[in-house]
Structure formats: structure tokens, C-alpha cells
């Protein structure tokens, strides 16, 4: 499904309609032929769908008072869509969103909406990608994290330095320990999800703080690094 911002025709669009994908980069909005992936059911996709299904089933079993609490909470906590616009979720959508995150992280679902206490956001994020004598690691502040917090990392690996628009391609790649201190080595996890690394590739990294007690996340920070090999 594509989303768009209304204008004289369309001011901004993101997503796919039929065989056309809409996106934007530093040169402005553009359209391209939609590429249909050969494997549309990766392990990560199947797992995520199972978490969503489990959270939806839990919603159907909620007592009426709990459901009403989510219906009241959701409009007060809008989220941002791919275009950065504020979107209000239904009570069901908010419940499923937070609990699918918690299930993905191996946590117990919550039956009532959380208190209005967001995790502490990352204030800085840097990344090195040295497959030689250096390290493939992320560094962040503040450090260490709070007791119930961990960093979730999403990555994209590209072969061409000319590729910059990767917003729709991030894949969940790694998570820190609870209350982790910076830095964190990401080499094994990136290789597991993205394949062997080669000099000259570019790794885009996105990270946000996830609260394992509430399912709430902070706005992400992004960075990137070119793969090098020092001796």
C-alpha cells in the first residue's frame, strides 16, 4: 500500500501501487518500477507475522475494561508514518503494535497501556566497519542504558556507494543486552543477516532504544560506514 500527502496532485508519496513504487531522495520525489522479490516469506517476515497474529489474538481475549483503556490511550499517542506525518492508531492497533514488539523481544505482553514514560533517546550514534584489525561496532550515548532498556539495530548493506535511499530496506539485525554499555560489536550479527562483508561496501545502520517493560521505542538515529580492512 502507498501513502501520500495531498497536494495540487500529490505532494508526497511512499510505497507501491500496482507495478509502481513511489519514494524520494535528495533529488526529490521519484517513481520506479516495483521489484517483486523472489522470496517473499523470509524467516524474519514469518516470525514478525506470527507476533502480530499472537498480539491480535490477545486483543480478542482482553476484558472490556482493558480494551477501553487502550481505546482511550491510543489517540493521545500518535505515531509517525513513512512520510513523517502523525497518524492516530486505534486501540487495537496500538495494543498490537506494542505487544508485537514485546513478543519479538521475548517479553511478556502487557494488558494495560503503559504510563507516559518514554525510554531515554539516543543522543549520538556512530559506527565503524573494519573487517581487518579494527572492529565492526556501534557506539552510542547515553551509556549505559537504563535497567529495562536495550538498543535495537537495523541495517542495510549495499555494494555501491552511489546508493543512498535505503529507508525501506532496513532489516532487524541485532539487539544489545539490557542496560548495555557502549560500544557493541555487530560483525557476527551483520554477517548472519546480510552475508559476508567486502571492502568497499557501505553499511547503513539505524538504532533506537526499546523499553522491554512497555514496548515503547524512541525515534531512531541513523549513521553509515564504508567497509574497510586494516592490517
What is this structure's pTM?
0.78
d(CA 217, CA 79): 11
Comparing 37-46, 79-88, 109-118, 200-209, the range with the smallest average pLDDT is 37-46
d(CA 10, CA 132): 48
Question: Domain extents for the chain?
Answer: 3-33, 43-104, 124-226
List, for residues 13-68, the tens digit of each pLDDT value: 565 565 565 555 545 555 656 655 555 566 667 777 899 999 999 999 999 999 99
**Contact between 170 and 158 (Cβ < 8 Å):** no
pLDDT of residue 13: 55
Is CATH 3.40.50.1980 what the domain over 124-226 is classified as, yes or no? no
DSSP state of 106: T
List, for residues 215-230, the tens digit of each pLDDT value: 999 999 999 999 999 9
d(CA 199, CA 201): 6
Amino acid at each position: 500500500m502507498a501513502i501520500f500527502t495531498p497536494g495540487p496532485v500529490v505532494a508526497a508519496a511512499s510505497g507501491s501501487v500496482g507495478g509502481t513504487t513511489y519514494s524520494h531522495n535528495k533529488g526529490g520525489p521519484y517513481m520506479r518500477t516495483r521489484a517483486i522479490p523472489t522470496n517473499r516469506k523470509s524467516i524474519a517476515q514469518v516470525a514478525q507475522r506470527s507476533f502480530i497474529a499472537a498480539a491480535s489474538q490477545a486483543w480478542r481475549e482482553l476484558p472490556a475494561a482493558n480494551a477501553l483503556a487502550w481505546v482511550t490511550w491510543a489517540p493521545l499517542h500518535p505515531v509517525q508514518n513513512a512520510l513523517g506525518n502523525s497518524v492516530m492508531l486505534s486501540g487495537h492497533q496500538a495494543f498490537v503494535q506494542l505487544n508485537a514488539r514485546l513478543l519479538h523481544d521475548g517479553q511478556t505482553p502487557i494488558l494495560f497501556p503503559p504510563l507516559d514514560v518514554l525510554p531515554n533517546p539516543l543522543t549520538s550514534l556512530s559506527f565503524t566497519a573494519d573487517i581487518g584489525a579494527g572492529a565492526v561496532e556501534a557506539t552510542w550515548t547515553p551509556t549505559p542504558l537504563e535497567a529495562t532498556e536495550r538498543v535495537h539495530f537495523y541495517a542495510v548493506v549495499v555494494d555501491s556507494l552511489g546508493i543512498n535511499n535505503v529507508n525501506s530496506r532496513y532489516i532487524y539485525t541485532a539487539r544489545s543486552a539490557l542496560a548495555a554499555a557502549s560500544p557493541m560489536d555487530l560483525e557476527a550479527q551483520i554477517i548472519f543477516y546480510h552475508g559476508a562483508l567486502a571492502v568497499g561496501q557501505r553499511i547503513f545502520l539505524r538504532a533506537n532504544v526499546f523499553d522491554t517493560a512497555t514496548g515503547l521505542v524512541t525515534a531512531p538515529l541513523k549513521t553509515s560506514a564504508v567497509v574497510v580492512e586494516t592490517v
